[in-house]
Structure 1
Amino acid sequence: MAESSERNDLSDFIKCAICLEIYKKPKCLPCLHSFCETCLQMYITSEVQNQAKNTDESKSKVDETPRESGFRCPTCRNFVDIDDELKNAWIQKLPDNFFIVSLIDKYSIQSESKICDACIFNGKTELAVTWCSDCREALCQKCQSHHRKFKAFRNHSFLKLSVTTQQNVTSFSGFIPCPDHSSSPAQVFCADHKAACCTLCATIRHRKCSDILTLEDASNGVKDGKVTQDLRKRLDDLTENIKKKISNREDSQEKLKVSKECTEKEVTTVFNETIAHLETLRSSFMQELQTYEQSMSKTHDDEISKLSHLLTRVLLQRNLLDVSIAQGSNEECLVNIENIRRTESQIKDECDVFSYKASNGRISFTTNSEFRDIRSNLKTIGKFILMEKCLCMQTGQIKLLKKESSCIGNDICNAIFDFQNNVIITDYEGKRISVYDYSLNKKSSISVDDCPRDITIDKSGRIFVSLPQLRKVVEINLKTNTVQEMFHTTVDCWGICWMNNDFYITSGTVIQIYSSDGTKKEDIETSDTWMISGKENAGSIMYSKQETVIERSVISKSEKKLHTLSGAGLRGIDTDYEGNIYTVGMSSNKLYQLSSDGTLLREVDLKDFELKGTPWSVRLNDKNKFVITTRKGCVALFEITPGPIEQEA
């Protein structure tokens, strides 16, 4: 099964994009895309004919201009310039893609039938035992013997076809050919050049080298040697490095999509407040935004594709090393190690071209002052800004925008941001939900049946509130100022969070998961957990246990301790759009900012802001604002101005 899966994976890399068949003499264009030589010839001929036709049709309309001499790559559409007179010779001079040729060899070697190709032409079916790398054919023992009798085929390289295990990458025949004389065995090893060769090469090419050993002596103990172990570790580290870069770009791409959705909602909200004749401007802006997002997304796709290709190469080298150690002789292991080391260096150089972190690609929207004034000379409704990686929340400046101590009752409260630039606050003592603007001016309020404790919002903007004493969750409709019961819980629902179309309920000793229709799905045992946050794109929930910040994977159900803050008395917790974690200490009276991996970035003493009461919760919006509530009913609105990113060592 593993071998069949590997062959299917290889087949994706050895098919021509034009004929969709296995490559026949693959040629590589300057843009690095490869095609069959015949397919490329037919494609260029067709392209040139189309160019000539288009030029003839346009001569009556425009002045005659120099015509492009070349064609566009069928895959990336980059223009390739060629001389018409040397067209055929130019194609023949294109470099062969030997990497694809080697993949085709590997694909053919792994063929499940392994029938002799020469015997098939004679109507026979004989089991193949060797593979000719030069002719790329499988041969039985008899055909191989005849193959070697001809002078033209005498120096061809042969590989034994053997039954492979699940982890095999190639087969070892016991014969190590000299790199320059394939028919002669490699018997000596030049330590100066790190290369194995035959005795003739040692006499001629390496006669001035000072350290020449027999292959047997040079390979003694190589499998358990420090060089082999270091190489294995570097390959593992390189694998992990590439995986992290791919994951980083996938996260960045998801953030790009989320920020695009938020920007679209903001654009729509602003535009709907204006008159109808601006519809054309809105459509133009949205099209530009879509194009920009697609452009950025393509960049991430290209980088992920290239890094995935590097990862495949590293894994192939890693498997080859394991098989060499497990099945090969010391001599074979030595030779393969040196080849892998050279390949490893090439892959590492290609990997280092990519920075460790991708641009987060976040897009924000800024409204033009002219648009707000609704002036007749408007040309656009605003502009979108790509948040480059040179700015980040980790080094941003924190500024208090507004605080209010008397906007709600003198008791515990929680707050969130909606999509209309409002702050929605639960008033536990007053049994109501209140709506405030960014200046903390009250806009409206809605009464509920009991004391509301926590509040959350889904992707569509629906607002949900937990009523722990009644053990139920209700939905708050701000447009109609109504309350609708959603479902009942089996525990006191102190904390609530919406993530991945599920409700996460905390009651101190258990975390319960409910589906959107109120069906209970799972219980997770915990302790001293009162509030919860979700990293939807990462598929994990965050919560605190007095002194420790916890991350739990929704997929693997594993719990990970990110950071411990002694004596903090942690309560509220949330994350920003970069994945940084924010939590407040009820005992320490501080705001803590942590990186996504749990590294403490900074502590902010909230006493400096003279907030009434100790901090209870913290919530962030999708940009750079956050709100902190206290146990005395104080609400404080803050803003983080993104700062320069710290360069990695």
Structure 2
Amino acid sequence: MAANRNSNANCELSLCQPCLNMDTITDANIFCRTCDELQCMDCSKVHETHTFMRSHTLVDANESNIARTKFNMKGIDQCILHQKDLEYFCEDEETLCCSTCAIVNHRKCQSVVDVKAAVESDRKRSYAKVKLQEVKEKAEKIINSVVCSKRKLEEDVTDIPVKIKKRRDEVNKMFDELEMSIVKQAKSLQTETFVKLTTKQLQNEKYLADITTCLETIDEVYENGTSIEQFIVEEKMKEEINLLHTNVDEECKGLETMTVNFAFDEAFNLPPLPFADYVSGQLSLKSHLSEAAGIITPVDKAIKITPVCCVDLKQSKDDEGEPFYTGIDFLPDGRLVVVDNTNKKCLVYNEKLEKLGSYQLSYKPLSIVAISDEAVMITSGNALRLDILRVNKSNQIILNRTKMVTTKYDSICVNDEGNFVGGTYDYSRPVRIISLTGNEKDINANFPKKIYPIETSACTYDRNTEKLILTDKYEHTLYIYDTKTNTRVVVKDDKIQEPRGVTVGPFDTIFVCSKNTHSIVQISQTGRIVSSHKTDMEYPRTICISRDKSFLVVSNACNGKRKLQKLQLTY
């Protein structure tokens, strides 16, 4: 579609804009540089009628060198109630409004800004296209599954006469009657099932057509429209998109592949006639979830979190103060490795959270990540070093090697083989890529234009979806960056208050520690708040998930009440 619009750009540029607004197609002869508009001869006469327009600069349309094609809003930017331009955006209720709506309906709202200001504060609005693409893929998979089911159903029904004919060679006439009876039943089942499947197919073809129309509109406005026009289209289409998302997801839940089968009983005795009444075989219609249904099952389902064990973190004889676990991670075998910032230690725990071994560091560690079966990497912040330690099967911790870096790193996680994603502080970019050899490079993403002090941000990376997640503590915000499309989702919600530690769990769902609500919040990759789980501790801070996605461990930052807790994930 995009290619066709580009090829017709010159044609669109030669049309009169005022006539287009009245759904009339007229060739443009004049371009008014002051109005920034193409006009036909009749429409341009308005410059002679009104005195204040006589100073406008008019040039020949062919010599105007217009930089872009205007996007025809077709009334989308008009208030339905008052037929006025949608000039304002209520941030409290997340809705567009005209000047009358702003005064009458939103005068008690805290933040009503003009559309231009709203666009400037959120320039990368990718929600509509990402959501539509997701729904489109689901709808296509549903239709493909239904078509395959119908084809399989037809193949199964066609195969039944073949089975019967093989046995009919032995019993001749009686199998003629059997064939007629069973095929008739099978055809009846086929007809009945086809009606249901066809209804489902037609409904989802309608959804797909609506999705395609929405996508075409969004593609066009992003290619030809201004940022304000893009913003308005996104907001106006949000309700329709959410409805399509809900409808297609509902269709997913009941998606089944229908098959029909005929099987003979092992003990087969020739009964008295009529044979069809005594046939030792049963015609059955069966259904089972197709492979496609497994793919399109909604992944943002709530995950149950159940406490398993918990230990209080008390100061021991050789400790300088109360333990403060700023980094935790699972080894592949289920053991837990942690770093104690207060006492400059790296420790290892078993599955019951019993301490097995420790290693004394020369600096205050900030974070830890398991990089192999028996190796971990630790960040040091101001020390500007990354230590790689070996944690052997006997729970001995040995320093393997040290890599010096130029940036202060707080959080760290695995990116791919040999590379890591490091959350920075006191640096111009909040996230960098670090190699095993110590090489560092920036990531090309639309990060907030700010420098994070220590303890105000954390990051993680989802290798399955290539999404980068970043928390902003004092903005009470979580950013989800798609590194493939260079788009982002901004998540703000009352359930997220001073977020810190973040990790990725089952179905690529995101878990983030919300300090001031004393909870762990579950978020989908599209930015939807799935659930919130209250913890048995105040100010949860650091979090990690086991390799098999079965267990979650969290520690907190409450002085005098610090804990380390293990929880089981059920889904």
**What TM-score bracket applies, with the shorter chain setting the length?**
0.3 to 0.5
Q: Normalised by the size of structure 2, how large is the TM-score?
A: 0.45
